[in-house]
Structure 1
């Protein structure tokens, strides 16, 4: 037990114990290590005691370099970071990293595994738990890092059903959204990735309030995870998971086939591109005023009688 802190109490405590042991082995004081890592000595004290704010990824890298830890602290950091999330969220992330198949219905945003960097940054920027720009960049980096698993030899099968609303909501603006839609189209040649779109005209369904993910583990067991704006629920009971799996199969059956889905994504992307050329609000206001003035002149020419003008094209 280092300095009265039990390393088994939490990942933050284990991280702090490792920093303290490495610092002492290097013959450094907390103040000296702080200078090398570009932080005040009290920050080193907080880390070693697992108190205060959790270390950032940048600080973990600086400590690793200063102590010659050969990436030990950097490798520990993601587990420390996850402790900022509720237990069910951490467990879901752990299951996801081992899953051999991932089936996901997304109601509001593109799933993290398929997000572009700018889209991810726009999504994560609105998080209620966000502590600042540095934390935002760390979360973006972690999200992009998890995407690397889709390129490994043991990559999971990924099947995604997107609500049409996901395509229509211009998260991050038109340019960011266009790049994100292009990223979805780029999955077409990937045999292990399937994307479908659930169009609006399919009406109501069982998962309208949030998103649903089903994970298939290496032993064949399945886990379900439902998520709303500010909550999540991990479901491991086999009977409940089967019910969610049936719900997902219904969504998949109601969605457009993969090729038609890609056509719809392409169509929305092209519409967004054209939409970028739509006149601004001030320009539309000016055009409307001109039309009203022209209408008034037509009425005057008619001797005060209302002269029906040609209806302006929308």
Structure 2
């Protein structure tokens, strides 16, 4: 008789997902291979997800819901599962970010996580040498779903020009990333500005920060150091952050001029693929 691993559904969202998948499959009198045939995957993958050895994807979850008629249970649950893969210290911010009505961010080193392509995000996350790069990547991509809502948060991103020039992941990855930024030029809910090198000193030389505003809760300011993130709703800090962000918006290029600069850097720095690939050194 096969040794069936017993899961504690209260241990984590991933454990609950695996437990519920097995319960629903058995309730439909299906073996792992049979369910796999229905949703076009292997029985082995079903088993790995049921025993938490592999993360479910959103596509997998949607196919399971359709096959078992579970009314979107797994499609809803997978968001919690993927969010649980984020670093523990980052999860509170991700939760707040998903509820925000307005997001404003200044980024000095990297493209903001909600705007990253999969290739760029993979290269960034790999520098931390994580145990589960695929899990972290899936979690970051899941965060971006808030921009796909019928009514997403209003968002404003200011990127230092250095972000455009730093070759994260190589030329092709960067070209795709800058092309992604340009997709937001006429976006109703998102605006992107670039802080040019020519601006010299500006109001946030100390580094990146995010401001989150909510319909019914206090605003927060979020910053990170090398090992953790910090949120505060202190009124004095909020006032200072809002003032700094207003100065940044004034000093940065207009949305239109920012798009022109992104286009120029994309073509001049990352457009010639006949040159050897540039790789970031971690």
CA deviations on 1:157-200 (whole Å, 9 max, x unpaired) are 21111011111112232233223323323322234322211123
Q: Where does residue 77 of structure 2 map in the other structure?
A: 76
Q: CA distance change for structure 1 residues 128 and 228 in 2, over 3 Å: closer, same or farther? A: farther
Q: Where does residue 254 of structure 1 map in the other structure?
A: 251
TM-score by length of 2: 0.74
Matched, 1:236 2:249: no
TM-score by length of 1: 0.68
Matched, 1:39 2:44: yes
- Name the structure where helix makes up a greater proportion of residues: 1
Q: CA distance change for structure 1 residues 121 and 145 in 2, over 3 Å: closer, same or farther? A: farther
Q: Where does residue 97 of structure 1 map in the other structure?
A: 98
CA deviations on 1:86-123 (whole Å, 9 max, x unpaired) are 44422222222222211011112222333334333433
Q: Secondary structure at the match of 1:197?
A: strand
What's the Cα RMSD here?
3.7
Q: Secondary structure at the match of 1:129?
A: coil
- Output aligned runs, 1:102-113, within 5 Å: 102-113=103-114
Q: Secondary structure at the match of 2:194?
A: strand
Aligned residues: 266
Distance 1:163 1:4 in 2: 47
Higher relative contact order structure (alpha carbons within 8 Å, sequence separation ≥ 6): 2
Q: Secondary structure at the match of 1:108?
A: coil
Q: Where does residue 295 of structure 1 map in the other structure?
A: none
Alpha carbons 2:82, 2:138 under 8 Å: kept: no
Q: CA distance change for structure 1 residues 210 and 68 in 2, over 3 Å: closer, same or farther? A: farther
Provide structure 2 residue ranges, at least 5 long, that are not aligned to the other structure: 1-5, 37-42
Q: Where does residue 28 of structure 2 map in the other structure?
A: 26
Q: Larger deviation: 204-213 or 223-232?
A: 204-213
Provide structure 1 residue ranges, at least 5 long, that are not aligned to the other structure: 48-52, 282-314
Q: Secondary structure at the match of 2:223?
A: strand
Q: Secondary structure at the match of 2:247?
A: helix
